[in-house]
Structure 1
Amino acid sequence: MSETFVDLGFVTAPSGVVVLAMASWIDEWPRVGEPLSVRAAAAARAGGGHLQEWEYEAVAVPAAADRPLAVRATTAPSVFDEEPTIATLEVELGLPWPAGADPAVPVLLGDLPVDRGGMAVGDAVGLDAWTGLEHEPADGLADLSYWGRYGKDAHERFGGEQLPPHGGDEGPYGWLDLPVAEAVALEAEISTWQGGLRGRGVATMVEKHVDYLRFRRAGLHHPLHVGAIEVGGCRVLGIDWDPGDHAVRHHGGRDWGQAFPVTLEADGAGGTVLRWTIPPYEENEDD
């Protein structure tokens, strides 16, 4: 039976190297040695390969530098809530299948766990510019949200809008696109709010507009939590996971055997694709 793919968008790779990486750690690679782009280029020269340093993991492969590269996926019902989740992620590389290689035999590059913070697909050099949680946002803006047992009482006092939910039925209150200093000051005011409650039962969060937040926000309304952003002058796709689905299906990652094969495969039309396959969940009968 043929697979049914859904289109997720496209990425660009002007460096000629595409990376599928755990989004939580992209900006951390230089702290433990060479930048991600240097490691990825070396893997690509060998035809592709798996990169790992501590908890940081990625797969890098050569790709066409002169065209958009389509990204698509097959889906399967989540074991958490039966909503669609990614079962196969496929990236068109724009390169011919190697002459003399058997198109019926995939080339195993390694495996990857599903990062709780999502995955990113994009150009290796472009991703060197990725900003994580410890960076300052290029636009100087941040989102402020608050929620909890006394969230509605705090809303009456401070205002704000009902923000879109992320992995739940009801979103928090808050504000989008505030100047960072204003967001930090307002968070401090809410956190120390007296009102007879002393802030008990009100949790707050300031999220600066770094790339890590931008991709998650871009995919907030996508059924598969996929969002496109520009990083380092390149179009990057970020793929988030529903927290409930991740907790049931992928919690523990590699340490619990939850790492899934990444291969190079023939696309049936003479081309090559990068494929990440997440097999169906098999519940232990003793659970």
Structure 2
Amino acid sequence: MPETFVDLGSVTAPSGVLVLGMALWIDYWPELGRPLSERARTVAAPGGGHFQEQECEAVAVPAADDRPLRVRACTSPSPFDEEPTIAALEVSLHLPWPETADPSVPVRLGDLPVDRCGMVIGDASGLDVWTGMDGEPADGLADVFYWGRYADDAHAQFGGERIAQYGVEGPHGWLDLPLAEAAARAAELTAWRDREYGRGLLVSIDKHTDDHRFRQAGWQHPLHVGAIEVGGCQVLGIEWDQGDHSIRHHGERGAGQVYPVTLHADRDGGTVLRWTIPPYDVDDDE
């Protein structure tokens, strides 16, 4: 049966180098000695490849620098809840297939695990300024959420909107608060909980880092895909359902849960980056 692809959006790569990497580690590359963009340029120069240091992993390839690059995916049912989950991810690089390469034979670049914190597709230089979960937001804002056994009581006392996430009613909370106000509201909720109940209410502050922004951008997307701007470039982030990740991808590279990344020739003689995640097979657990 032929694969059916859905459009996920597009990314831009003005540096001419595109990266597919693990979201949790994007901002950690400089801690290992060299920025992500330097490593990616080196790997992409001969045609692309995989690079890794400690837990940080990514694939880099050359890409057109003057136009958006379309990203699409085909899906398979999740073994967790039977909802669609990504089985193959493709990016049109808008570069010609090399004349010396056989268009019927894919070029293997390496493999990648599915990061439990999501995957990022974007320009190598733009991702140098990516802010991870422990970073500080450029806009100085944060979101506050609360949920749990006594959430209705807290709502009666403090208010806050129901924030829909991933097609279901999400937690109560407030979006786009200045950091100081967000911290004050979270502290007030926590103090009230401790005074009245001791437990039964969870409170979180999510700063507007790039890590949080791509998740928020994907709250209404069936495949948890969100587009944001990072370093002047359009970037796509893909968050995996945690139940699906636990069943299919748990352990990641350490457990051998890695999936091939290849280059393919399309029908028009162009080059496509493809990451293939085989559909789940119940026999894999036997």
TM-score category, normalised to shorter length: over 0.9
Q: Is the 8 A contact 2:193 2:199 kept in 1?
A: no
**Could you say which residue in structure 2 is the equivalent of 1:47?**
47
**Could you say which residue in structure 1 is the equivalent of 2:278?**
279
Structure 1 residues 198 and 192, CA gap change in structure 2 (3 angstroms): farther
- Which letter does structure 1 place at the counterpart of 2:261? V
**Could you say which residue in structure 2 is the equivalent of 1:158?**
158
Q: Is the 8 A contact 1:116 1:243 kept in 2?
A: yes
Secondary structure, aligned partner of 2:196: coil
- Which letter does structure 2 place at the counterpart of 1:53? E
Q: Percent identity?
A: 67
Q: Is the 8 A contact 1:26 1:130 kept in 2?
A: yes
Distance across 2 between alignment mates of 1:235 and 1:137: 18
Q: Is the 8 A contact 1:142 1:207 kept in 2?
A: yes
TM-score, normalised relative to structure 1:
0.96
CA positional deviation for 1:170: 3.7
* Counterpart mapping for 1:201-212 below 5 A: 201-212=200-211
**Could you say which residue in structure 2 is the equivalent of 1:178?**
177
* Counterpart mapping for 1:66-85 below 5 A: 66-85=66-85
**Could you say which residue in structure 2 is the equivalent of 1:26?**
26
Distance across 2 between alignment mates of 1:100 and 1:204: 58
CA positional deviation for 1:158: 1.3
Distance across 1 between alignment mates of 2:211 and 2:284: 38
In the alignment, structure 2 segments of 5+ residues that lack a partner are: none
CA positional deviation for 1:197: 2.9
Q: Is the 8 A contact 2:165 2:220 kept in 1?
A: no
CA positional deviation for 1:92: 0.5
Secondary structure, aligned partner of 2:18: strand
Alpha-carbon RMSD across the aligned residues, in angstroms, is 1.5
Q: Is the 8 A contact 1:192 1:199 kept in 2?
A: no
**Could you say which residue in structure 2 is the equivalent of 1:8?**
8
Structure 1 residues 141 and 63, CA gap change in structure 2 (3 angstroms): same
Distance across 1 between alignment mates of 2:131 and 2:273: 25
CA positional deviation for 1:195: 7.4
**Could you say which residue in structure 1 is the equivalent of 2:35?**
35
In the alignment, structure 1 segments of 5+ residues that lack a partner are: none
* Counterpart mapping for 1:78-227 below 5 A: 78-166=78-166, 169-193=168-192, 197-227=196-226
- After superposition, the C-alpha distances for 1:239-271 in whole angstroms (9 at most, x for unaligned) are 111122112211111111111000011112100
Structure 1 residues 179 and 269, CA gap change in structure 2 (3 angstroms): same
**Could you say which residue in structure 1 is the equivalent of 2:249?**
250
Distance across 1 between alignment mates of 2:249 and 2:29: 23
CA positional deviation for 1:169: 4.7
Secondary structure, aligned partner of 1:82: coil
Matched positions, count: 286
CA positional deviation for 1:199: 4.1
- Correspondence 1:65 to 2:33: no
Structure 1 residues 90 and 43, CA gap change in structure 2 (3 angstroms): same
